[in-house]
Structure 1
């Protein structure tokens, strides 16, 4: 069995999304101790920011006329798409930054699409844990309700385009424990933390059932 895991936190040592992903992976590995885990960390090993443009223009250029940089970028895009296509189960840990997804995660998505095509269902029926963590609160009644421009995008790409069998694990208020002005939200934040870890446990077991 082959598990693909993607992390996108720029703070790997204290990552809330990685904690949830770790719990999910541990449950999967308990069932598949001989399974293979292929992990890509965009926070510690970011992809070249210009690779997407190069891969895209390579696809529009006859092969003999492509530059070396275009060939390399297209090969990278093909590799990234293959990592998803070859997975039996997937964990995507994607923090929320500046009200959306980070530049390095968006680069990864764009390269995967460049390597596979804009409508290819790379993860068709593949069980996928989509983990996202948000420092504040953006739900109904929150002062910044509607400012979460990340979660819907993630679900659109992973579920609607790539056709994964998605389980969303979303934890808000990750900054409540140590941010002035958020003291009154600590209990709610801890509830969300506990619930996210419990869902991660159950999801890891479900991923292992494929």
Structure 2
């Protein structure tokens, strides 16, 4: 039995393309894998706390030396890390805001990428002292953007700070393979946008099947 963790990051409750894509993915996944556990977190509606100086001090204080206040500051982080640790597949459904990720999603990332919990730090490794602790997970990105051409080699590739950022930090979530379905042309609202939506929905069954088979083979 696998665990599917779904993170919704859109600030919109209605008319959200990524929320709808996320629901479609979850429905098809659980239909194909009825025994799997499902964990859902809506950071778009209930963002995690932003980290601050006291949080950072607590995170870098050895666990057996933390005060009750420091332990309390890290309790939300502990819960979110536990969810990621349990997950076999992480689905992040998120729009692109100002060419990057929503602040709520960045807050979630910052609560999870934490020293001695999801990565270790050792200067004996030289110029690359950080090393992931978690491993073996797949990441599915369900994204949407107002413009178009954010893919590799396309016109706005260098303006895409959503997918590359998530790919970079995802290794500290234990991710070893990443898949993305992107809806484009949202601000244009034309036939290209409609076709992009249809293409994304049509790709979900194949992605579910591929990931399900991969997990079964590695079990």
TM-score category by the smaller chain? 0.7 to 0.9
Instruction: Give 1:151-190 correspondences, 5 Å limit.
Output: 151-159=163-171, 162-177=174-189, 186-190=190-194
- Cα displacement (A) at 1:17: 0.9
**Structure with higher strand content:** 2
- Cα displacement (A) at 1:85: 1.4
Alpha-carbon distance in 1 for matches of 2:36, 2:203: 22
Match of 1:72?
72
Higher relative contact order (CA 8 A, sep 6+): 1
- Give unmatched runs, 5+ long, in structure 1: 178-185
Alpha-carbon distance in 2 for matches of 1:206, 1:29: 14
- Cα displacement (A) at 1:73: 2.6
Asked if structure 1 preserves the Cα contact closer than 8 Å seen for 2:113 and 2:173, the reply is: no
Asked if structure 2 preserves the Cα contact closer than 8 Å seen for 1:23 and 1:201, the reply is: no
TM-score of the superposed pair, with normalisation by structure 2: 0.79
**1:143-173 Cα shifts (integer Å, max 9, x gaps):** x563221111111122587333211112211
TM-score of the superposed pair, with normalisation by structure 1: 0.82
Distance 1:138 1:74, change over 3 A: same
- Give unmatched runs, 5+ long, in structure 2: 120-129
Match of 2:147?
136
Instruction: Give 1:37-186 correspondences, 5 Å limit.
Output: 37-50=38-51, 53-63=53-63, 66-114=66-114, 115-117=117-119, 119-122=131-134, 124-139=135-150, 142=155, 146-159=158-171, 162-177=174-189, 186=190
Alpha-carbon distance in 1 for matches of 2:66, 2:171: 33
Give the count of matched residue pairs.
Answer: 199
